[in-house]
Chains A and B, each alone.
Chain A
Amino acid sequence: MSGEEIIEGEEIIEIPGKWEIPYLYSAGKTASKFFYGLKHNKKIMGTKCKECSRVYLPPRSYCETCFLPIIDWVEVGEKGIVETFTIVLAKFEGFPEPPFIISYVRLDGADTCLANFISGIDLTDIEKAKKIIKVGMRVKVLFKDNPEGRITDFVFVPINP
């Protein structure tokens, strides 16, 4: 596609824009109940499929393999295993200042893993930290003092710091 030749002295322009799109995501009954449990009871609850017995965390209201609704709730343990993690070292726009650790943890009693930050590991010396945090390490849940009913109400911390 050829347009007119740009005459010398004329600029090719860029127009700035920014999307600010408001959303109000409905959590639904199941997720709402999970967050209620965090906020008011400092407890983590999963849902259990009657057919395959899989305990889902975060909780789901349907089992995607059996394709059936799930209505049973179970409380899961406060401790679990780090199944994978990363140490975020670069600054990303809109995210907390690095360094910080993100991990997926399988809490005792759950079949799926839950994502959250890992705290309580000294990250001033990254090389040292890499020796401490490992796949397979045990961690426990630590709630903040005033939970708000959001996934950020708790973090994982090493059991034996």
Chain B
Amino acid sequence: MGRRVAIVGVGQTKYVSKRKDVNTPELANEAVVGALQDAGLKISEIESTIFASAPEAFEGINCPDKWCVGGIGAANKPFMRINTGGMTGGSGFIAAFDHISSGMFDVVMVVAIQRVGESPDAQRILNTIFDPIYEKDIALNIISVCALQATRHMAKYGTTEEQMAKIVVRCHKNAQKNPYSHLKLNITVEDVLRSKYLCWPIKLLDACPRSDGACAVILASEEKAKKITPAPAWVNGLASITESYYVGDRLGWRGGDDDFTDGNSLRIVSKKAYQMAGIINPLEEVDVAEIYAPFSNLEIMDIEALGFCERGKGGEFIDKGIPEIDGKLPINPSGGVLTSNPIGATALIRIAEAALQVMGKAGEHQIADVKTALARTAGGTNQFHNVVILGRNAK
């Protein structure tokens, strides 16, 4: 296997609807400056940069990475951009991991950004992800596809809108303690249930906001990491997978096990990550999880597929309060994607927040004594999955 890698610094910008005061390179710069300060490093010590941003239709500029090069201190160095939709920040992180684990670099930075606020219509942009020949004309967008997942999960397992609403309430409450969060609403389950329907059963409050923001994470080889910080977050497990594109192919073939509502490829990839990290009983051994769920129902599927509970019991897991901030396995103490969603950065933010928990730097939303944190990121119509497991101690 390759060399050990650790996270040594994290930077984020405050997530808001629109940052009118900066252009895209300037916004990315803020996250980079934050990460360098956190790690106590100079830009000249970053040997290579990986840029993660999702559909450029949001920024309205093709190859926004090339525009940002100067602003993020990446000019005249090795550089590449990654785009896997919502999972972009997570894929960028894995690419950065490989940069170091391969032995080619010792200190690299991944910068992830999205300006969802530059365009008034995110869903119209997201309609362009669908097959232009067979599917785009069926008025599909991310909300409708995630709603399809919800109705199917409800039909299979009896999941309820109330259970979905509990997730929303928890995330907003957690967000109140996160200085970077976009939304921090004081809401109840009834408020969520009363909010208007977008695509049944998904309501306005079950859905993520549109946010501008950037995040930067600095990774280092074992040798360098130990010199940079006394408390790095060690990357102990990571794995990534893609399932089929067509949702119609993922609705159980001849009763087979490829139903997208069960997250089976997430199941495969989390097992791989757990094995790498030496985790046998996730519910006992994972101290905190940051999960990529831009719509509340997706968190229920993820809880099951990550092995925190049995298939179909995700709703019950919510009812028992296990993911609450004072529960057995806090989920999204940062407020998660339901409170901040700068799409291309969101996956990296999950990893950054998991790192902050392990490093003891999560401030007011710090969970006590975190030895192992899990970040789950997703992309496309829940087609791409990755799981990253960070630890206070190297595996």
Question: Which residues from chain A sit less than 8 Å from chain B, CB to CB?
Answer: 1, 12, 14, 17, 19, 23, 25, 27, 31, 54, 56-58, 64, 83-90, 92-96, 100, 102-104, 106, 111-117, 126, 130, 134-136, 150-152
Contact = CB atoms under 8 A, between A and B. Distances in A.
Interface stretch (B90-98, B241-249, B318-326): B241-249
B123 A92 contact: yes
B121 interface: yes
Contacts of B132: 23, 25
Contact of A151 (B138, B247, B249): B138
A1 B71 contact: yes
Interface string B142-156: 011001111110011
Interface of B: 20-21, 25-26, 29-30, 33, 57, 60, 71, 121, 123-124, 127, 131-135, 137-141, 143-144, 147-152, 155-156, 196-202, 204, 244, 246-249, 251-254, 261
Contacts of B139: 88, 92, 95-96, 100, 102, 117
B20 A14 contact: yes
A134 B201 CA distance: 13
Nearest to A56: B249
Contacts of B150: 86
Nearest to A58: B134
A154 to B, nearest CB: 11
Contact of A84 (B21, B152, B198, B254): B152
Given A27-B133, A93-B124, 19 more contacts: A12-B21, A25-B133, A58-B246, A83-B251, A84-B148, A85-B148, A85-B151, A86-B151, A86-B202, A88-B198, A90-B198, A90-B204, A92-B123, A96-B139, A104-B248, A111-B253, A135-B151, A150-B137, A151-B138
Q: Which of A89, A115, A134, A152 has the most CB of B within 10 A?
A: A115
A116 B138 contact: yes
Contacts of B156: 135
Nearest to A57: B248
Contacts of B198: 88-90
A117 B60 contact: no
A134 B60 contact: no
Nearest to B203: A89
A56 to B, nearest CB: 8
